[in-house]
Amino acid sequence: MEILKLAARKVIFPFLVQTGLVKIFSDKSGGKRLILMYHGVVKKTDFSLSVNHLALTDFEQQIKYLSENFEIISLRDIFKSYKEGKDTKPQLAITFDDGYENNYTNAFPVLKKYHIPATIFVVSKILETPDYILWYDLIDLVKSKLNIDFFKSNANKLPSEKGNMIKNAVSWGDFKKVMKMLDVEEKEIIIQRNSNEVKEILSNVNAEYKNMLSAGQMMEMISSGLIEIGSHTHHHPNLDVLNIDEARNEIKTSRKMLEQALNYKVKSIAFPDGAYNETTKQLSINEGYENLLAVDYKTSSDEEDENILPRFCISNTTTSESNYFQIYRAFKKKGF
């Protein structure tokens, strides 16, 4: 199986892209619009630190190819196009999740070069704590130096059921799945961000993998006319595990803080980890958001709900040609 994957990445997909044959994999019965999701863009990838970031050379290669083969429009315009239901040639919208500073230092110059609009969904906690690191990034950035038992050491401080799930997690993958079930305060107990061990390791980590956007950087990108700033909640919790008051606070606080800091109207929200339910959808609408972003649809009403759309996640660990192939195929599954 690995040999076949390697052959596809190194030989088959490049051939399909270079000859243009890759376009036959765009299912004409699918939608004509697709939203892409990126996270970070770094000068040099280090997958021992994180798989959330794409190499800058690959990012520019992808933006160049996509701009030559699709109509790339803003997120707001793709929602408008979808709601109007007009027939169109294949359209894409570009989004980024979390709010890494490398979106400004690395991705933004490329977007300006090709005049490509994009939306960046920001975790608003970074406005009040500039050195804030998202919980899952923190784990990734320190796990090569601290084993999983370090994080399990505080499991007894959680409610017994959740504490036992943390204790029983063997792999990092299982551990992260359990972490997604915790609320904001419970996550903080487990990750111990203020411990000397964690702080020391993080102080030596490549800044491209941990630094987040400043208000000034966001305002500069907004003023270019290419970049929309959206909400990614306040702390990046899985909204579907929070009670209604906690979920409302995450959704409301984020929009309020971003609008005050940027003097800007925030109209879009992307649900962290693609986690939401009917309640959190309605809370978002009630708080003034117009465009809701999922990854995969989660509720029975989504297909008929014009306020929410799915996204296709670009892989950082495969080739650009593989991503192009998957993008063409994604029009059937996640196109609209």
- DSSP line for 161-227: HHHHHHHH--SHHHHHHHHTTS-HHHHHHHH-TTSHHHHHHHHTS-GGGT-B--HHHHHHHHHTTSE
- The mean pLDDT of 102-111, rounded to a whole number, is 98
- The mean pLDDT of 40-65, rounded to a whole number, is 96
b/e code 293-330 from CB counts within 10 Å (16+ = b): bbbebbbeebeeeebbbbbbbbebebbbbbbbbbbbbb
**Tokens representing residue 101 in the block:** 């500073």
Query: Does residue 74 contact residue 100 with C-beta atoms inside 8 Å?
Result: no
42 CB-near residues (< 8 Å, 6+ apart): 53, 54, 55, 56, 102, 106, 206, 208, 209
Q: How confident is the model at residue 236 (pLDDT cuts 50, 70, 90)?
A: very high
Query: Does residue 233 contact residue 268 with C-beta atoms inside 8 Å?
Result: no
**DSSP summary character for residue 43:** S
CA pair distance 277, 239, nearest whole angstrom: 8
Place of tokens 């390791």: 201
Give the CATH fold of the 26-130+212-333 domain.
TIM Barrel (3.20.20)
Q: Is 288 exposed, middle or buried (0-12, 13-18, 19+ CB in 10 A)?
A: middle
Q: How confident is the model at residue 13 (pLDDT cuts 50, 70, 90)?
A: confident
CA pair distance 228, 70, nearest whole angstrom: 20
Query: Does residue 110 contact residue 59 with C-beta atoms inside 8 Å?
Result: yes
Quick one: how far is CA 230 from the chain centroid? 12
Q: Does pLDDT of 28 surpass 70?
A: no
How many CA within 13 A on the CB side of residue 89?
Answer: 7
Q: Is 184 exposed, middle or buried (0-12, 13-18, 19+ CB in 10 A)?
A: middle
Q: Does pLDDT of 12 surpass 90?
A: no
CA pair distance 60, 67, nearest whole angstrom: 10
Query: Does residue 277 contact residue 305 with C-beta atoms inside 8 Å?
Result: no
Would you list the domain boundaries of the chain?
Answer: 26-130+212-333, 135-203
- The mean pLDDT value of the chain amounts to 94
Q: Which amino acid is at 4?
A: L
Q: How confident is the model at residue 206 (pLDDT cuts 50, 70, 90)?
A: very high
pTM: 0.95
Residue 252: strand, helix, or coil:
helix
Q: How confident is the model at residue 14 (pLDDT cuts 50, 70, 90)?
A: confident
Place of tokens 């239901």: 85
pLDDT for the residue numbered 20: 80
pLDDT for the residue numbered 4: 64
